[in-house]
């Protein structure tokens, strides 16, 4: 029998309602390349959700694609991106941004977040010796971050102000936006967040979609030729309907939040249980990724029954692991996991 996996939030297929929607509309003939009715309706639903009639919405199959296309559309060749060292684009996209021609100016971060003051510092440094230096032009933040943390309203305000001051674009990688928005610590509505960024990627795959991400662009400078960039990077899909159907299902009545809430609930249960059992965490996470620190011996025992990633050695005896929950996580498995801690 296979072990139960807490490795990631894309271990299963799709939320049943997503599959049903695909099934139901299967034989309806549609245009391709985002010109289908479903993409249009999904875009409308998202615009309604974020209360912005002027946003443009694009759908792509994956998050790395979303990131690199936004950069390609937003940046001149000599312009760069500011991101945390833990940012997905910095570490886990095999140099996708650099392959698109752009440097990433790294900010070292322990909790996955960057600060307005750090952004400012990089901008000022790069005004030192033009035109010999890249020109920072876009700030990349993840919400929730790769370490499970989230930006608060006031943090976003600060970053947004700094971006405006220095004429920087703000882009939010929302591969895990759902769990951020539904986190017990969140004080930031989707509407508020989107009003402060130039573009955001609303993740589907990690929130119960079969696959697919929605990119919301609020800035004409970025959106104007976005489809040309999508096509050039291999992201304009003939059967765009698949994305349209899924995101319509997500946003027509709040399913997008339901799946995220379940993931958070399961993570919280894990977290509380682990705390109660006397263990600490690497980061303070209130979303679906938690990083408990366990004795190495104990980890071996847990691994006989569960799958998860080792994250970071804390000291000789202890290791932080990553546990990820999702829309599909079974509560009984959470309980079972906790039972091993006693």
Within 31-50, the residues that bind its own copies by CB under 8 A are 31-33
By CB under 8 A, which span of 129-137, 182-190, 215-223, 285-293 interacts with its own copies? Answer: 129-137
* Paired strand residues for 60: 213
Q: Does 269 bind its own copies (CB under 8 A)?
A: no
Count Cα neighbours of 181 within 13 Å in the Cβ-side half-sphere.
24
Angle between helices 241-252 and 16-24 (to 10 degrees): 130
- Using alpha carbons only, what angle is made at residue 59 by residues 58 and 65, rounded to the nearest 5 degrees? 105
The rounded radius of gyration (Å) of the Cα atoms in the chain is: 20
23 binds its own copies per the rule CB under 8 A: yes
| Contact predicate 55/216, CB 8 Å | yes
Q: Least distance (Å) from its own copies to the CB of residue 102?
A: 6
Q: For residues 217-236, which are near its own copies according to CB under 8 A?
A: 225, 227-236
Closer Cβ to its own copies, 241 or 271, answer by number:
241
- Residues 161-200 binding its own copies (CB under 8 A) are none
Of 116, 134, 194, 214, which lies in the binding site for its own copies, with binding defined by CB under 8 A?
134
How many residues bind its own copies (CB under 8 A)? The answer is: 78
Question: Quick one: which segment of 139-147, 194-202, 204-212, 269-277 binds its own copies (CB under 8 A)?
Answer: 204-212
**Could you tell me how far CA 48 lies from the centroid of its own chain?**
21
The pairing of beta strand 79-84 with beta strand 135-142: parallel
Q: Site residues for its own copies, window 94-113 (CB under 8 A)?
A: 94-96, 98-99, 101-104, 106
Give the residue among 228, 225, 180 at the shortest CA–CA distance from 200: 180
Per-residue interface string for the shown chain with its own copies, residues 317-336, x marking contact by CB under 8 A: -----------x--------
Binding mask 278-317 for its own copies (x = CB under 8 A): ----------------------------------------
Among 299, 288, 297, residue whose Cα is nearest residue 321: 299
Per the rule left: phi > 0, alpha: psi between -120 and 50, beta: everything else, 324 is beta
C-alpha to C-alpha distance for 140 and 107, rounded to whole angstroms:
11
Counting contacts by CB under 8 A, is residue 51 touching its own copies? no
Closer residue to its own copies (CB): 62 or 338:
62
Chain positions 77 to 96 lying near its own copies, rule: CB under 8 A, are: 77-78, 80, 91-96
Output 12 or 275, the one with its CB closest to its own copies. Answer: 12
d(CA 268, CA 256): 19
- Between 155 and 307, name the residue whose CB sits nearer to its own copies: 307
Is it true that the peptide bond before 131 is cis, omega within 30 degrees of 0? yes
């Amino acid at each position: 029998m296979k072990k139960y996996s807490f490795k990631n939030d894309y271990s299963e297929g799709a939320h049943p309602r997503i599959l049903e929607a695909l099934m139901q509309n299967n034989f309806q003939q549609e245009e391709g390349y985002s010109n289908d009715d479903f993409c249009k309706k999904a875009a409308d639903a998202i615009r309604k959700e974020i209360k912005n009639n002027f946003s443009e919405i694009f759908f792509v199959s994956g998050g790395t694609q979303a990131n690199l296309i936004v950069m390609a559309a937003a940046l001149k060749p000599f312009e760069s991106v500011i991101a945390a060292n833990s940012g997905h684009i910095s570490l886990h996209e095999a140099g996708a941004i650099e392959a698109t021609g752009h440097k990433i100016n790294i900010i070292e971060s322990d909790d996955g977040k960057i600060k307005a003051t750090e952004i400012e510092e990089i901008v000022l440094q790069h005004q030192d010796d033009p035109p010999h230096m890249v020109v920072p032009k876009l700030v990349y933040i993840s919400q929730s971050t790769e370490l499970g943390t989230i930006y608060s309203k006031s943090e976003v305000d600060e970053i947004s102000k700094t971006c405006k001051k220095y004429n920087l674009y703000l882009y939010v990688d929302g591969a895990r936006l759902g769990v951020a928005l539904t986190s017990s610590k969140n004080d930031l509505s989707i509407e508020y967040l989107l009003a402060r960024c130039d573009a955001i990627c609303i993740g589907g795959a990690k929130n119960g979609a079969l696959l697919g991400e929605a990119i919301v662009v609020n800035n004409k400078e970025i959106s104007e030729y976005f489809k040309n960039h999508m096509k050039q990077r291999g992201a304009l899909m003939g059967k765009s309907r698949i994305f349209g159907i899924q995101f319509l299902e997500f946003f027509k009545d709040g399913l997008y939040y339901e799946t995220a809430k379940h993931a958070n609930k399961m993570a919280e249960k894990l977290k509380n249980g682990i705390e109660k059992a006397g263990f600490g965490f690497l980061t303070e996470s209130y979303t679906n990724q938690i990083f408990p620190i366990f004795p190495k011996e104990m980890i071996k025992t847990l691994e006989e029954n569960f799958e998860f990633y080792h994250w970071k050695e804390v000291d000789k005896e202890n290791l932080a692991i990553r546990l990820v929950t999702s829309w599909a996580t079974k509560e009984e498995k959470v309980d079972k996991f906790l039972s091993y801690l006693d």
